[in-house]
Amino acid sequence: MAARKKSKRDRILDTAEELFALHGYDGVSLRKIATGAGVDVALANYHFGKKLDLFSAVFERRAALLNDSRHQALRDCQSKAGKKGPSVEQIIEAFLRPLEMAQETGDSGWKNYLALLAYINNSPYWGRLMMSKLFDELVNEFIEALKQALPQAEEEDIYWCYHNMSGALTLTLAQTGRIDTLSGGKCLSSDFQSAYDHMIPFTAAGFRKVCSQRSSKGKSKGAM
Amino acid sequence: MAARKKSKRDRILDTAEELFALHGYDGVSLRKIATGAGVDVALANYHFGKKLDLFSAVFERRAALLNDSRHQALRDCQSKAGKKGPSVEQIIEAFLRPLEMAQETGDSGWKNYLALLAYINNSPYWGRLMMSKLFDELVNEFIEALKQALPQAEEEDIYWCYHNMSGALTLTLAQTGRIDTLSGGKCLSSDFQSAYDHMIPFTAAGFRKVCSQRSSKGKSKGAM
DNA sequence: TTATTATTTCAACAAGCGTTGAATTATAAA
DNA sequence: TTTATAATTCAACGCTTGTTGAAATAATAA
């Protein structure tokens, strides 16, 4: 309803973004997207090609922006920290806050996009390929920073901790509203500030705990 | 390929379970399910009704079993702990280990089912309704136990911590393989023991951290 | 056996799907 | 204005979808 000046091409992207985030790739037809965008069904094909190409276009549209903003946040906290390097909390903050800010903008497009990211990140196999292609480079920057902040940690532990953080984040991005129901309204999935204010110390403590205890304690991975 | 003695009805459930977990509700047609089960397409309708009813049947089939096993694990750790009650770690262990055991059984059905759970838990709106109906009662038992283990905690904090734990768990259940790619094979999403061995101390530390720091510190929720 | 009921398949339906070539309109260039 | 190009719609294609009533088969009861 907001912008009337948007091109039809952009309206297709916006509508597709919203519907894909809500119903997944197979839950949305090109005709529903076209109707939602107020456009003929053939126009999506003209601008983007096949349905999967449209999906990719939606997925890629905001990826670079997001990567830049997180990259910048990491650089900022690194310069602020000096040569001893930033703390675990500061690194996680740099990783997560840009997402909170994106979700908090009035623009519902970002909210939809991040929900779409959650959908893709939870999709087996093909989701992994799409995510890796666009986000692995940035994630590896953060992993490197975390290794420096936790010099005694085993590499494997850091990856598992990242996995847990990524899961917590993904559920927040998905905005399923489960927390609203469970808490009887005490917590709202739309209250992003609360979500991230809790997620940051929660995950930071997890990193510290797992990566500080000396290794091979009950992990039974080597010789039997 | 395994069991040849299963009824056609069960084969429909098994195939649907696997395909729904892999491709989501809209990504699977009744014909693909029927083909996979070696059965006519009309048979699914005869046994289960509409497509959504079949989906619900798959979803509900193992829910009670799972709830029982987690409920039992909680009771066990409570009796072992005596009247002072179990620790956060013990409660989380009771919450998570039954899932690990289910994933580790040779039966691939459980793996598929839990991936389906992850899919549903990440689905906006309708996912919340389905999950709440079957799992809220059990989850509230665990929340109560956690409140006792963290008597100084604010209720809201406990819910947010549970939200984070649920996210970490969900991504593990989804088995997207992201961690495999990211870590270059150092961590495998199929290595369930490692996943849970890390998830438990990670989330327990998060609970302790968030629920011990005295409240209203930068949460800016009450009067300004 | 026959009669009855439960299971399974067959055949088809109306509707929606992604996609495309040709026609139409709007925009920009000459 | 005329000409060329870009944007958009129209109309239709072959295919797949969920669903269903009737026919066929298998299992059970009499």
B194-B199-B204 Cα angle (round to 5)? 140
B125, B171, B219 member nearest A166 (Cβ): B171
Q: Where are the beta strands (DSSP E) in chain B?
A: none
Q: Does residue B223 surpass a pLDDT of 70?
A: no
B23, B166, B201 member nearest A26 (Cβ): B23
Residue pLDDT, tens place only, B113-142: 999 999 999 999 789 999 999 999 999 999
pLDDT of residue B224: 34
- To the nearest whole percent, how much of chain A has pLDDT over 90? 88
Q: Which architecture does CATH list for B62-212?
A: Orthogonal Bundle (1.10)
User: Within 13 Å of residue B93, how many CA atoms lie on the same side as its CB?
Assistant: 11
Q: Does residue B203 surpass a pLDDT of 80?
A: yes
What band does B3 get if pLDDT is binned at 50, 70 and 90?
A: very low
Q: Is the C-beta of residue A16 closer than 7 Å to nucleic acid chain C?
A: no
Q: Is the C-beta of residue A114 closer than 7 Å to nucleic acid chain C?
A: no
CA distance B52 to A67: 39
Report the first-to-last Cα separation within chain A, whole angstroms: 63
User: Positive or negative CA dihedral for A115, A65, A41, B24?
Assistant: negative
Q: A211: which 2 tokens?
A: 């990566």
Cβ contact B178:A121 at 8 Å: yes
Pick the closest to residue B100 from B110, B86, B88 (CA basis).
B110
Q: Where are the domains of chain B?
A: 8-59, 62-212
What band does A218 get if pLDDT is binned at 50, 70 and 90?
A: very low
Residue B152 CB burial class (10 angstroms; 0-12, 13-18, ≥19): exposed
Q: B72: which 2 tokens?
A: 């039992």
CA distance A118 to A130: 12
Q: Does residue B54 surpass a pLDDT of 70?
A: yes
**B160 or A221: which carries more pLDDT confidence?**
B160
- To the nearest whole percent, how much of chain B has pLDDT over 90? 88
Residue pLDDT, tens place only, A18-50: 999 999 999 999 999 999 999 999 999 999 999
CA distance B133 to A156: 37
- The C1' atom of D19 and the CA atom of B125 lie apart, in whole Å, by 26
State which amino acid sits at residue A17.
E
pLDDT of residue B38: 97
Residue of B nearest to A174 (CA): B122
CA distance A115 to A118: 5
Q: How far is A2 from chain B (nearest CA, A)?
A: 23
Q: A84: which 2 tokens?
A: 């001893």
Q: A93: which 2 tokens?
A: 């903050």
Q: Choose from A163, A175, A192 for mutation: most chain B CBs within 10 A.
A: A163
Residue of A nearest to B187 (CA): A156
pLDDT of residue A215: 57
DSSP string covering B108-159: HHHHHHHHHHHHHHTSSTHHHHHHHHHHHHHHHHHHHHHHHHSTTS-HHHHH
pLDDT of residue A86: 97
**For range B91-105, the mean pLDDT:** 96
Q: Does residue A2 surpass a pLDDT of 70?
A: no
Catalogue the long-range contacts made by A124-127 (C-beta closer than 8 Å, 24 or more residues apart).
A124/B21, A124/B22, A124/B115, A124/B174, A124/B175, A124/B176, A124/B177, A125/B22, A125/B176, A125/B177, A127/B176, A127/B178
Q: Does residue A1 surpass a pLDDT of 50?
A: no
Cβ contact B116:B61 at 8 Å: no
**Which residues in chain A (190-219) have CB-CB distances under 8 A to chain B?**
193-195, 197-199, 201-210, 213, 218-219
Q: Does residue B28 surpass a pLDDT of 70?
A: yes
What band does B66 get if pLDDT is binned at 50, 70 and 90?
A: very high
Q: Which of A4-18, A32-46, B195-209 has the lowest mean pLDDT?
A: A4-18
Q: Is the C-beta of residue A46 closer than 7 Å to nucleic acid chain D?
A: yes
Cβ contact B131:A178 at 8 Å: yes
Residue pLDDT, tens place only, A166-207: 999 999 999 999 999 999 999 999 999 999 999 999 999 999
Cβ contact A73:A97 at 8 Å: yes
Cα A102 off chain centre by: 11
**For range B45-51, the mean pLDDT:** 98
State which amino acid sits at residue B181.
T
Pick the closest to residue A128 from B188, B15, B55 (CA basis).
B188
Pick the closest to residue B169 from B62, B68, B97 (CA basis).
B97
pLDDT of residue A214: 62
Residue pLDDT, tens place only, A68-123: 999 999 999 999 998 999 999 999 999 999 999 999 998 999 999 999 999 999 99
CA distance B159 to A182: 8
Residue B224 CB burial class (10 angstroms; 0-12, 13-18, ≥19): exposed
Cβ contact A68:A135 at 8 Å: no
Residue pLDDT, tens place only, B149-196: 999 999 999 999 999 999 999 999 999 999 999 999 999 999 999 999
**B59 or B5: which carries more pLDDT confidence?**
B59
Q: Does residue A213 surpass a pLDDT of 80?
A: no
**Same CATH topology for B8-59 and B62-212?**
no
Q: Is the C-beta of residue A7 closer than 7 Å to nucleic acid chain D?
A: yes
- The C1' atom of C13 and the CA atom of B42 lie apart, in whole Å, by 14
What band does B218 get if pLDDT is binned at 50, 70 and 90?
A: very low
CATH, range B8-59:
1.10.10.60
**For range A5-24, the mean pLDDT:** 96
CA dihedral B171, B61, B163, A112 (to 10 degrees): 70
Q: Does residue B216 surpass a pLDDT of 70?
A: no
